[in-house]
Amino acid sequence: MKYTRLTKEQLKELHPEFITFLATQTITADEWKKIKEEKPEVAEDEIDIFSDLIWEGVLSKAFYLENLSKSQLFLFHFDTMAMHLFLIKIKNADVDLLTKEGVLWLEKNIVEDDKVDILRASKEYSEDKNLDKFQLIQQGAFISNGEKYKSIKSLFS
């Protein structure tokens, strides 16, 4: 398995897609029930394959990721050749980026406060761009619409 198996909740949400997946393999509902009962390892394999297909589709459409903590904000952008990062570090112990107040403080002070460091970096992908994204998600990042990244990038334009 390349990624991780979808949770039961995710599989439940993707039930229609899973039925279509089974149908593409000419597995009917009755056959699926029989496989689950008689060959649970085959059923597990099918769920793993489906999970990887879903992850592959989601990751190929993910162009921005964010990972935030109390004092740091990692903003990633993925283009065709490389991944780009803005890392924002807050050196003010009273500011918590996990709160609305902290985000408002950052918006107000990002440009002129010496307690805000912004680092910029780029890195070429490994052999598997989607796996690079997935590893960041495994470390706590989540897919975003890129508004924060674009906003920070505009400060440097």
- pTM of full prediction above 0.75: yes
Q: State the total domains in the chain.
A: 2
The residue among 46 and 157 whose pLDDT is bigger is 46
pLDDT tens string 86-143: 999 999 899 999 999 998 898 888 887 788 999 999 999 999 999 999 999 999 999 9
* Residues 23, 45 within the same domain: yes
Tell how far CA 92 is from the center of its chain: 28
* Residues 89, 55 within the same domain: no
The residue-averaged pLDDT of 14-23 equals 94
CB 72 within 8 A of CB 87: yes
State residue 71's pLDDT score. Answer: 94
Query: Within a domain: residue 90?
Result: yes
Query: Within a domain: residue 2?
Result: no
Q: Which of 45, 60, 75 is the last residue of a domain?
A: 60
Q: Which residues constitute the domain of residue 143?
A: 64-155
Query: Within a domain: residue 43?
Result: yes
pLDDT tens string 26-69: 999 999 999 999 999 999 999 999 999 999 999 999 999 999 99
Query: Within a domain: residue 3?
Result: no
